[in-house]
Each structure stands twice: as structure tokens, then as C-alpha cells.
Structure 1
Amino acid sequence: MAMNQREFQIKELGYIIRPAMKKDAKELSEIRVQIDGETENLDREKGEAYIDTLSFEGLINADTEERNNLFLVAVMNDKIVGFSRCEGNLLKRFAHKVEFGVCVLKDYWGYGIGTNLLKESIGWADSNKITKITLQVIETNVKAVNLYKKFGFKIEGILEQDKILSDGKYYNTIVMGRFNG
């Protein structure tokens, strides 16, 4: 389901957040691989679970048509610098909630892009009678955990020793949820 485009100005940078469009698919495929290689905060290593252009087109089409899905991109100077998705479930018992995920290119961290993608997603969810947003975040991403808490997310559980990072150590995944019902 779509939402309107919004403009933002943070520090010296201006960008827009808008729904993803079919024409974004190739660029999304490329930057997703890049982002995965820039941080260990995500589930994938660079190149894992690769999504090609055609598959991104399918995601964008599905997310545009489904009431409980939202695919947003952050665009600066005609370049996608981040994106987020809210993915719902067609089962009636889960139709009240969506799973949120966000990715931002490392060069654009600190400009509120992830925060604004989250705000737009929360606003969309609240206005579309979606009462719960869930997400998962690695325990070492304290900045993200604090941001989510600021927007009403609560820790619902811990998946212990859930991920192995490049240092060979195990890390916990924090399961968070925001209920607005």
C-alpha cells in the first residue's frame, strides 16, 4: 500500500522518502548488496540471499498491492541511499501486524534517514489500522535499540546466541514490538 512522498532536510543534506517504484528495482538490488557489506548489524553477509532486479520488481508490485505491506526508499540527488519495508501477513490471525526492516548506506548514517523511514512506517501503520510492528535487532546495535524504544517499541524477547559475526563470537538478537491498539 502506498503513501505520499515527503521531503526532509537534515544538516546540509536534503532527501525524499517515497514509495518504491518498479524503476527502483535494479538500484535496490545493487545497494542491498553494498549495505550488507558495510555492517554486521544485518542478517546477511555481502552477496548472501541475493535479490535480483526481477525479484525486486515482484516485491515492489506485491507491496504496492497488499494492504499490509509498505516499501519505502530514501532518495538523495536521484540516488537511493536507504530503504525500509513493512511486511504483513495474509493470515487473519496475524493481519494486525507487520515486520519492519531498514537499511541505509553507511555514508548516509547520521542524517536521520533510518529514523525518518521508521517514522513514516509508523505513521502509515497507525493510519491503516495495523496495531503492531515487530522487528529484530542485534544486541550490539545499541543506537538502534534506543531509537526503537524512543518510538514506543518494547523488548519482547531475546534470541540467545542467535548470530555468529566475523569475530567468531555468538551474539543475541533482540525481538522488539510496538503495539498501538
Structure 2
Amino acid sequence: MIGDNDVAVLLGFLASAIGLAGFAGIVTSIDRRTVGATPEVITFRLNVLTLTALLSILLALLPIVVEALALAPTTLWPFVCMFNASVIASILIVVAIARRRMAGTDQGFSQTVFVSSVALGVAAVVAGLLGAGNFIPARGAYYLGQLFLLYQVFMLFYRMLLMADEASRVAQRGG
């Protein structure tokens, strides 16, 4: 059962994801070629940012839709936990495969950022699976997964802003 507080939290996740996705559109319009990042790296970051933002938006709406359609009336939170864990695991796999295909030292993320993101993602997947099995509170596990997705969106957005800032500095120097 979804309470009023749950709706507020889910709408907060939704608003955050939409806001970050919208600002990401602004960042993409800035010329980053002067930074030295390869088009492959820029495309990788933008694709992961877009995918994660869209999935975060959809997953923020999932419990509301599942309850409205009475798809899992008695097991709402475990049901959405399982779905959330599956989506996050899929994102981790897609990002790992895409990053492996990239050549060079700059593989879209630094090694530290990549490893820490994967570790947090695995923790979110494990929490989601534990929540789906009712070993931990499913609602909290679901929210933890949503927080991970927002962290990913924010981290990618921030890295794109840093890239845009560097491009601006290089352009001002005339180089």
C-alpha cells in the first residue's frame, strides 16, 4: 500500500530525475571538442546519463502505476524491488560492456569513479533482492535503488559540467 508520504517521496525522485535530465540537455549543447575528450567518451557519458535519467523517471512512477492497476496488491514493495534490482543490474552490465569496448586510458569514467559506481550499484541490487525476498524492508530497499539511480544521474551530469567548464576555459585562452 502506498501512503501519502510515499507519493511525496516518489514525486521527489521523479522531479529530481526530470530536472537533472533537463539540465543535461543544456550541457550537451556546449562544444566539448576543445577539452580533448574523444567523441566516443562524450557519447558514452551522454548515453549512460540519458538512459539512467529515463529509467529513474520510469521507476519513480512504477509503484504508483502498479498500485493503480492493482498488479501486486499485497506484495507491492517486494514486486517493485525485484523490478528495480533487475533494472539496476541491467544498467551495470550495459555500462561495463560499453566501457570495455572503449579504447584508451579515458574510458568514459576514471577507474575510481567506475569502481565506486559499480560497488554502489551492486549494493543497490543486493538490497533490492533482499527487499524483494522480505529479508529487509522492501520500501527502504526500493528507495535505496532510486537513490543510486539519482546518484548516477547526478554524477554523470556533474562530470559533463566539468567537461563543459574545461571547454569554456580552453576557448577563453584561445586554444
Query: Same fold, TM exceeding 0.5?
Result: no
Which structure has more relative contact order (CA 8 Å, sep 6+)? It is: 2
Greater fraction strand: 1
TM-score normalised by structure 2 residue count: 0.29
Task: Look at both structures and tell me which one has the larger radius of gyration over its CA atoms.
Answer: 2
